[in-house]
């Protein structure tokens, strides 16, 4: 099973993200469906039952208090060749990074890239109108999607289908 750890985003914040993401429906852009919006803490790829249980145990071992996170602004990775559009995290980004680091540390997994807390809203393959995309992105770089209380993290499976990924919750750990 393909597995990842994440923070779920409440429906009201998801609705605001989806409303804004519609402006990015350019040719070559695949937008993330509402039910798939989340903040990824770690993607583990294909894992067996034993590894899934180890991840769940590591998640249960993270002890911190709940905290507020604010989803703020739309941005993108790889400025030369844009591949991912995301909604950023302002308030709470440091705490999310601490949870990410604690989880990967407990699993003995290094993270080769600097972790940037975010919710992916779209993936790009061969964007046709970069200039128009950048103009719209600049209009949303300071947009406030709302805040929410982060009180748990979840382990999910991801099943690839012709209509996109389907997620199923395997385990939930309260913070």
How many beta carbons lie within 10 A of that of residue 44, not counting itself?
18
The domain spanning residue 8 has which CATH number?
3.90.1140.10
Q: How many domains does the chain have?
A: 1
- pLDDT value at 52 more than 80: yes
- Whose CA is closest to 103, among 23, 6, 3? 6
Annotated active-site residue in 38, 63, 72, 171: 38
What percent of the chain has a predicted confidence (pLDDT) above 90? 81
Of 63, 72, 100, 118, the active-site residue reads 118
For residue 85, the tally of other CB atoms under 10 A from its CB is 27
Over the stretch 68-84, which tens digit does the pLDDT of each residue have? Answer: 999 999 999 876 788 89
- Give pTM, 2 decimals: 0.93
Eight-class DSSP state of 141? T
The reported pLDDT for the residue numbered 79 is 67
Active site residue 171: no
Domain of 153? 2-174
pLDDT per position as a tens digit, 123-158 = 998 877 888 988 999 999 999 999 999 999 999 999
């Amino acid at each position: 099973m393909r597995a990842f750890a994440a923070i779920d985003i409440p429906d009201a914040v998801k609705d605001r993200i989806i409303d804004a993401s519609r402006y990015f429906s350019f040719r070559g852009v695949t937008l993330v469906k509402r039910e798939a919006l989340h903040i990824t803490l770690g993607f583990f790829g294909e894992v067996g039952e034993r590894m899934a249980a180890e991840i769940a145990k590591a998640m249960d071992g993270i002890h911190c208090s709940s905290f507020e996170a604010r989803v703020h602004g739309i941005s993108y990775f790889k400025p030369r060749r844009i591949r991912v559009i995301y909604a950023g995290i302002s308030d709470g980004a440091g705490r999310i990074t601490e949870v990410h680091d604690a989880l990967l540390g407990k699993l003995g997994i290094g993270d080769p890239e600097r972790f940037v807390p975010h919710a992916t809203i779209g993936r790009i393959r061969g964007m046709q109108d970069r200039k128009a995309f950048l103009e719209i992105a600049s209009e949303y770089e300071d947009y406030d999607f709302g805040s929410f209380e982060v009180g748990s993290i979840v382990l999910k499976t991801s099943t690839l289908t012709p209509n996109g990924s389907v997620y199923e919750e395997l385990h939930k750990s309260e913070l």
